[in-house]
């Protein structure tokens, strides 16, 4: 480590959540960190302004940062080949939707998309800016097996992140996303949680140093048959660890956004939870772990149906929260769009209208005013995929 005050990462890490590894911090002189002033970075004011802009009333994030391989799977579902031209056509459909900025404040792009233009030669980032949508960029390099763990993963991508982030900023990106995952059926081990939290914290600090608002996303996967109480227990442990390391890395909380999983039962649990129950457990976790300095909580949908994701968000906005509670959805905004489009130019207008329908529904949910009346059956179909990769 470059500084003796930083926390060591080589402590025993094979224990499971709920055992000693998470309590060693309390009262342990080895874990104490000397207080030091946090200096404002060159981009601090801009970061705070950007985060507030994204966390604006009635708006949320459109996530279209799927890797080329994952985007190929989406295209294959409607009979299209995974070519750059087809990926560009689909993302052009999404990013040029008239009026999208009324409901969407930010769009997370894959690197390919950040540098692409429309077929008329207009940069996608300029299309977004005209709608007052902040361009964002996925910066992680994906999940790989974590040696020494219980068949768990860690997220790679810190090498070269500073230089890449600087280039993304020049291209017009103003926020970043880094997705790592925690699996409840596989433990989770203290090693996996610590690795996830430390990686997120280093990424967040590097992003802020280069002018990008970091979205902090430790996704707790839906896989498993555990009850909602177990999800709450794990989520509290994970977010405690994340904020510990964010603080150690001098991350400015006012200049970040969170992208948590909702606290739900495992996808294979015998009993489904109501939106009111999910809201209760999720908000309990957030109030226990997330400082009010954080401007926005932008939930991931994680395989819920379009309607479920919207109903659950709406339930969480029935009373005031310390933060902007909104959405950062991929499948829960795109599923109906893709099925409407079918790769046909004559369906573009209808597909864009389908996107506006979903975006408006989630905008109303952010305001706590959504009604599921009139939702079609397609929107109610679940999208959970066991072992899903992004």
Q: Which residues are catalytic?
A: 217, 259
190-209 and 161-171 helices cross at what angle (nearest 10)?
A: 50
Element (H, E) at 153: strand 153-155
CA 100, 105, 106, 107: dihedral to nearest 10 degrees?
Answer: -10
Q: How far apart are CA 329 and CA 358, in angstroms?
A: 10
Q: Contact 168/207 with Cβ under 8 angstroms? A: no
3-state secondary structure 230-272: HHHHHHHHHHHHHHHHHHHCCCCHHHCEECCCCCCCCCCCCCC
Phi/psi-derived region of residue 121, left when phi > 0, alpha when psi is between -120 and 50, beta in every other case: left
The set of residues, in sequence order, having a beta carbon less than 8 Å from that of 332 and lying 6+ positions away, is: 301, 304, 305, 306, 309, 310, 358, 362, 383
Residue located via tokens 């405690």: 240
Element (H, E) at 111: helix 111-114
Q: For 267-347, where are the alpha helices, taking DSSP H only? A: 275-289, 306-316, 331-341
């Amino acid at each position: 480590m470059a500084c003796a005050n930083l926390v060591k990462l080589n402590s025993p890490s094979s224990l499971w959540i709920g055992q000693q590894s998470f309590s060693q911090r309390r009262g342990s002189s080895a874990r104490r960190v000397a207080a030091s002033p946090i200096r404002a970075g060159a981009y601090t004011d801009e970061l705070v302004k950007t985060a507030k802009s994204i966390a604006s009333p009635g708006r949320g994030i459109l996530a279209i940062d799927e890797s080329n391989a994952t985007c190929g799977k989406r295209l294959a579902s409607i009979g299209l080949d995974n070519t750059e031209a087809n990926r560009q056509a689909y993302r052009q459909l999404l990013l040029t939707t008239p009026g999208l900025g009324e409901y969407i404040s930010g769009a997370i792009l894959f690197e390919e998309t950040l540098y692409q233009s429309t077929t008329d030669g207009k940069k996608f980032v300029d299309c977004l800016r005209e709608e007052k949508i902040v361009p964002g960029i996925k910066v992680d390099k994906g999940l790989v097996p974590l040696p020494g763990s219980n068949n768990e993963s860690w997220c790679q991508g810190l090498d070269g992140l500073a230089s890449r982030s600087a280039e993304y900023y020049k291209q017009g990106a103003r926020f970043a996303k880094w997705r790592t995952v925690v699996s409840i059926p596989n433990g989770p081990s203290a090693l996996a949680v610590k690795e996830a939290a430390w990686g997120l914290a280093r990424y967040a600090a590097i992003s802020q140093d280069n002018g990008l608002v970091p979205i902090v996303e430790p996704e707790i996967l839906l896989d498993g048959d555990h009850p909602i109480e177990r999800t709450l227990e794990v989520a509290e442990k994970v977010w405690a660890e994340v904020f510990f390391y964010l603080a150690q890395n001098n991350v400015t909380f006012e200049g970040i956004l969170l992208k948590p999983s909702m606290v739900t039962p495992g996808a294979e649990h015998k009993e489904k939870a109501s939106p009111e129950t999910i809201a209760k457990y999720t908000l309990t976790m957030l109030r226990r772990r997330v400082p009010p300095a954080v401007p926005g909580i932008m939930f991931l949908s994680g395989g819920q149906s379009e309607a479920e994701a919207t109903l659950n968000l709406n339930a969480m906005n029935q009373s005031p929260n310390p933060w902007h509670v909104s959405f950062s959805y991929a499948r829960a905004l795109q599923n109906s769009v893709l099925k409407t489009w079918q790769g046909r130019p004559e369906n573009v207008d209808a597909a864009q209208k389908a996107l506006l329908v979903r975006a408006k529904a989630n905008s109303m949910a952010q305001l706590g005013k959504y009604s599921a009346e009139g939702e079609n059956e397609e929107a109610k179909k679940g999208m959970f995929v066991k072992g899903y990769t992004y």
